[in-house]
Amino acid sequence: MELTPAELERVIAEVVVRSLAEDIGFGDLTSEALFAAEDHCRAAILLKEEGVVCGLPVVRAAFRQLDEKIELEARAEEGERVSEVPRELVRLTGRTRALLGAERVALNLLGRLSGIATLTRMFVAAVEGTGVAILDTRKTTPGLRVLEKYAVHTGGGANHRFGLYDAVLVKDNHLRLAGGVERAVRRLRAAVSLPLEVEADTLEQVEQALWLGVERILLDNMSPSEVARAVELVAARAQLEVSGGVTLENVRAYAETGVNAISIGALTHSAHSLDVSMEVLAP
């Protein structure tokens, strides 16, 4: 997905504004005591760690929430892979209090999103040439799902479900409560018109889902050899997605089995935030 103007507006309202309020509260005691309201300065945001840049539109939004006249000059592209560090990403000029007030929120979001984009790019590179899509999951930071999925997209991955509202995925707890694959699928067929995806822990469940005409099967926590047997069994009669236990070390082995997609929760729940900083420049 792309961060459209409409989505950016919503992110500003729901994430940036809330984050600034959380950090500033009733006032930045230090900056307000040290600097007059009319004081101005220049600053640069630096990336100090190799990776993929992601979050520049959000950085812009954070600073301009406190001073709409702040000048921002991007010195890197969104989605750019940076290998030589430190690298200046943004040059800023504006009111001192505003620059210092938005600094931490802007850096937190930039580092977080760049880390997700970087990890995603690593997984995508690991399966290059196989035709397999790297997908994200719903294992996102509460309140940051749109931004984190945007970061996955920026890193070259594909967005799966945004929530429970936009796709039907029958997971293990659904199957236990509904009485198994067949009962769950038949009830869903009578209730919804969307394509169905069913989670399968065993080849027996794969066979059941296939017999019922399920369009997509999620192979959960299977080894590469088990996945290869599932691919042979399905013979392209349904889309196959792998999930669970996937790492950078084994993702290629899963991709080479012939599945269509691999979903990886670690893209968002375990990504390392990149090291970024803001440094005030000499007048």
Residue type, 182: E
Of 67, 103, 148, 199, the active-site residue reads 199
Query: Burial of 27 by CB count in 10 Å (0-12 exposed, 13-18 middle, 19+ buried)?
Result: exposed
Number of helices (H), then strands (E), in the chain = 12, 12
Of 42, 138, 139, 145, the active-site residue reads 139
Looking at residue 158, the DSSP 8-state letter turns out to be B
Angstrom distance (rounded) from CA 283 to CA 273 = 31
Of 10, 81, 171, 189, the active-site residue reads 171
Of 14, 23, 78, 104, the active-site residue reads 104
Q: Is 104 marked active-site? A: yes
Q: Is 139 marked active-site? A: yes
Of 136, 148, 197, 220, the active-site residue reads 220
Burial code of 183-205, b = ≥16 C-beta within 10 A, e = fewer? Answer: ebbeebeeeeeeebbbbbbeeeb
Q: Is 97 marked active-site? A: no
Give the 3-state secondary structure of residue 215.
coil
Catalytic residues: 104, 139, 171, 199, 220
